[in-house]
């Protein structure tokens, strides 16, 4: 409710969208307030401080989210934005710190597909692999933010599933024992972060539905992607990112892979596919923004339960 009330009162203070080169229908967003994350992420942080235990892992994560929001807002405000390498480096730093906060810079028990018993992972490996996972979710979520309502809706769906898993599966003694997954005492606390962010995103989506009047910008997409990656790690199974964010990874993450392979290894892939994928289906297949949103949401709504059942039972 606070986000819903504050957004229209404060978005006149936000920078204006300047359009994106080569993006489909970019001209329709020019002049709209951009960087709404600078409004709803502080609201989220206040709520988190009120409901979360005052323990350093949670405080560190909230600080990381605020840092990601600030970096994103500076990028939104600067004409032409920051360089890709500067943003990538900032994302990597915050990803390392966040991954360390999840495991407490100590070893961590994870559960994996086709492995019945929990696997203990040393801190250096958990932080290294976890930082890569978080970095990917940050940038995939950011790349998906190009169609009214798309990034926020997919992120909210992912956070709802993650919150349910953290609270009702790994955070529940009896259910976790029945499903042969580790029980994490802090699971319900991490779930609170998920549900608090969903509330903020829901209020934002009220104004971002097609045709939108405000855009979240990097100030919103980067901390949302960061939180998604953090909660995947907190749930103890890195493959959950594929389960809850399949469409986000395919839509934005494969574009990152295409650029990285071409730029650093001169390996061209997906030559005839425009990325993010939502631009391809709009430009080449003639989908409307509403069709992209509904169809991508339907795909995720179908894929997540199927993959989740497989992930929990094939062990």
| pLDDT tens column, 263-278 | 777 777 777 777 888 9
Beta bridge partners of 110: 119
Residue 305 lies in a domain: yes
Let me know the angle formed at the C-alpha of 95 by 92 and 98, rounded to the nearest 5 degrees: 155
Split at pLDDT 50, 70, 90, the class of 309 is very high
Residues 6 or more apart whose CB falls under 8 angstroms from that of 54 comprise none
Query: Once rounded to an integer, what is the mean pLDDT over residues 62-79?
Result: 96
Residue 239 lies in a domain: yes
Residues 6 or more apart whose CB falls under 8 angstroms from that of 51 comprise 192, 196
Give the whole-angstrom CA distance, residue 146 versus residue 34.
12
Largest Cα–Cα separation, the chain: 54
Residues 6 or more apart whose CB falls under 8 angstroms from that of 97 comprise 60, 64
Query: Once rounded to an integer, what is the mean pLDDT over residues 90-118?
Result: 95
Average pLDDT value for the chain: 92
3-state secondary structure of 252: helix
Structural domain boundaries enclosing 41: 2-10+34-313
Split at pLDDT 50, 70, 90, the class of 26 is low
Q: Are 155 and 246 in contact (CB under 8 A)?
A: no
Q: How many residues does the chain have?
A: 315
Residue 272 lies in a domain: yes
Per residue in 31-64, pLDDT tens?
Answer: 899 999 999 999 999 999 999 999 999 999 999 9
Give the whole-angstrom CA distance, residue 125 versus residue 132.
11
Residue 108 lies in a domain: yes
Residue 160 lies in a domain: yes
Let me know the angle formed at the C-alpha of 192 by 216 and 56, rounded to the nearest 5 degrees: 95
Residue 98 lies in a domain: yes
The pLDDT of residue 195 is above 80: yes
Residue 29 lies in a domain: no
Q: Give the CB-side neighbour count of residue 136, counting CA atoms within 13 A.
A: 24
Give the whole-angstrom CA distance, residue 28 versus residue 23.
11
- Say how far residue 280 (Cα) sits from the centre of its chain: 21
What is the count of structural domains for the chain?
1
Give the DSSP per-residue string, 168-205: HTTT-HHHHHHTT----TTHHHHHHHHHHHHHHHHHHH
- Nearest C-alpha neighbor of 24 from the set 284, 294, 295: 284
For residue 121, what is the DSSP state?
E
Residue 209 lies in a domain: yes
Query: Once rounded to an integer, what is the mean pLDDT over residues 190-217?
Result: 96
Q: So what's the pLDDT on residue 24?
A: 67
Report the chain's C-alpha Rg in angstroms.
19
3-state secondary structure of 34: strand
């Amino acid at each position: 409710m606070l986000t819903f009330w504050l957004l229209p009162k404060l978005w006149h203070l936000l920078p204006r969208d300047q359009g994106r080169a080569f993006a489909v229908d970019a001209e329709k967003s020019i002049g709209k307030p951009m960087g709404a994350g600078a409004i709803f992420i502080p609201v989220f942080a206040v709520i988190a401080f009120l409901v979360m235990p005052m323990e350093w892992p949670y405080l560190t994560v909230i600080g990381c989210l605020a840092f990601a929001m600030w970096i994103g807002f500076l990028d939104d405000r600067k004409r032409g934005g920051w360089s890709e390498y500067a943003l990538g480096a900032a994302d990597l730093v915050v990803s390392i710190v966040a991954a360390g906060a999840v495991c407490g810079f100590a070893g961590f028990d994870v559960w994996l597909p086709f492995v019945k018993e929990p696997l203990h992972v040393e801190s250096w490996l958990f932080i290294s692999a976890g930082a890569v996972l978080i970095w990917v979710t940050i940038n995939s979520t950011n790349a998906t933010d190009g169609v009214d309502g798309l990034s926020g809706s997919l992120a909210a769906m992912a956070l709802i599933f993650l919150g349910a898993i953290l609270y009702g599966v790994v955070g529940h003694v009896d259910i976790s024992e029945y499903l042969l997954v580790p029980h994490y005492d802090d699971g319900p606390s991490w779930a609170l972060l998920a549900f608090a962010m969903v509330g903020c995103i829901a209020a934002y989506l009220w104004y971002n539905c097609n045709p939108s009047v405000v855009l979240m910008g990097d100030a919103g997409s980067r901390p949302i992607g960061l939180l998604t990656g953090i909660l995947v790690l907190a749930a103890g199974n890195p493959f959950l990112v594929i389960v809850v964010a399949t469409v986000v990874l395919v839509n934005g993450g494969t574009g990152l892979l295409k650029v990285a392979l071409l730029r650093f290894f001169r390996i061209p892939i997906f030559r005839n596919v425009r990325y993010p994928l939502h631009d391809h289906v709009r430009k080449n297949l003639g989908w409307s923004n509403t069709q992209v949103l509904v169809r991508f949401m339907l795909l995720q709504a179908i894929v997540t339960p199927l993959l989740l059942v497989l992930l929990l039972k094939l062990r």
